[in-house]
Amino acid sequence: MSQAIPRDFDILIVGSGLAGLSAALHLAPTHKVAILTKRSMSDGSSGWAQGGIAAVMDRSDSFASHVDDTLVAGAGLSDPAATRFVVEHAPLSVEWLQSLGVPFSEEDGHLHLTREGGHSARRIVHVTDATGAAVQQTLIQRVQQTPNITMLEHHMLVDLIMSAKVGMPGPNRCLGLYALDETSDEVVTFRAPHTILATGGAGKVYLYTTNPDTATGDGIAAAWRAGCRVTNMEFIQFHPTCLYHPHVKNFLISEAVRGEGGRLMLPDGTRFMPNHDPRLELAPRDVVARAIDFEMKKHGLDCVLLDISHQPPAFVKEHFPNIYARCLDLGIDITRQPIPVVPAAHYTCGGIHTDLAGRTDLPGLHAIGETAYTGLHGANRLASNSLVECMVFARSASDDILATPLPPVGDIPAWDDSRVTDADEAVVISHNWDELRRFMWDYVGIVRTNKRLDRAAHRIKLLQQEIHEFYSAFHVTRDLLELRNLVTVADLIVRSAQARHESRGLHYSRDYPRMAEVAVPTTLQPS
């Protein structure tokens, strides 16, 4: 099941979302690049992003205003230097995408800018209500036309390769990775002086999520096993408005619906946000998600309603064509009816600890996009700051790699699976996967307590033991690897949450309901 002959590249990029594709395009003119993705190139969270890209593109707006909005949403934990870095480079990123041919929505010959929760100005560049898909499609087409890029679909990251672990002398550094090629069922050795993790977030650790099935925290877990720090994993953003429907999972109702006047209501038509925040439906996501959670529990509801039907039908269809069409397929005419919505796990604000060049603690290893902690998001991500973060750090990491040549890798041992067999009971994996996602939703969700976190920690420890035994005895499969990564990420989330004795941003604890005077990131160091 292992392939003896290693594959060599200058740069390995794990993940085919906006961050990974952007980095590949920046590096390909001078380097031999491989993009590994565990499913198809278009499977990932970037293509699901509806809202848009936050950037100061209007003279009436300012960098200072965008920075301030980000810091406010981050509840005191956003790093000011990282925030300024992203905000000031955001317009260049939008212009780069324009140069590649992304068909951004326009009005009167200019970019149409919409507004979303937490923003003090219209600064969201978008492609109607399907920005991520349009950007992803454009970049994939460019990558396919670039000769120096090799695309390897259905390749699942198993583990990073560190020089210290394979007995190579000198300072410890990343030498590449092992990946499961699902088409041949072989574990392949990939060698490269530089590796970039762009694997996205970990929303699938929760029962309800807006994320695709690929969001299993693979990069975060692999970097942690390799000895890298992770930071702020307790801050999981729950999007307030995921479509509630028995035949559909994961369909997000964009923040922009509220930005364009959408109102949250109880089933009797009562608007409830005035009871929770003066910013009403345009309050930051953590505020709105907790408000919905409160009202659902108070009234025993399965969902609440989001109503945009007071806007003219032509306006709704023009601004939200994909949401309109999807809901209509399900029998909901959003020009005449409210949309049933619930909160769902949406974005991983923490991740692998990096600097402004995307460098991790392990030389030769960078991390960009949702899998990384850059300091931008703090305790809560401001709407539409995610896609621009992908692009800004894809460029800064690429610039750092181009300026920092590393020596060739040398010999690396092939993956050894000589002492394992095929699994006889794969049902163990599916049962553990289901158990994990359910107790994470129940115990480590929007509202937390010490008792709930302790219960989750106990169950995680039992799952870790079972998965370790399974991993040690049987051939690896994608399901097993994803479960292993999700349990690792769940452990990091719970440990981080237990360490924060306050309520701040996305982390709300009934045992520590007040916010501490001093904001300190939660950084975990592997033992």
Alpha-carbon distance of 108 to 222, in angstroms, equals 48
> What torsion, rounded to 10 degrees, do the Cα atoms 292, 293, 297, 298 define?
-50
131 with 51: CB under 8 angstroms?
yes
Instruction: Determine the Cα–Cα distance for residues 314 and 244; give it in Å rounded to an integer.
Output: 24
CA angle 421, 425, 431 (to 5 degrees): 130
Q: Minimal CA–CA distance to 19: which of 93, 76, 78?
A: 93
Q: Which of 123, 258, 285, 448 is catalytic?
A: 285
Q: Which two tokens stand for residue 55?
A: 């950037």
**Which residues, in sequence order, are CB contacts of 191 under 8 Å at separation 6+?**
6, 7, 8, 9, 161, 175, 176, 409, 412
Active site residue 229: no
Number of other residues whose CB lies within 10 A of the CB of residue 473: 12
Query: CB-based contacts of 71: which residues, under 8 Å, 6+ apart?
Result: 78, 80, 83, 378
Q: Return the closest-CA partner of residue 447 out of 236, 232, 210, 231.
A: 236
Residues 137, 17: Cα–Cα separation, whole Å: 10
Q: How far apart are CA 526 and CA 371, in angstroms?
A: 17
What type of residue sits at position 117? G
The residues annotated as belonging to the active site are 285
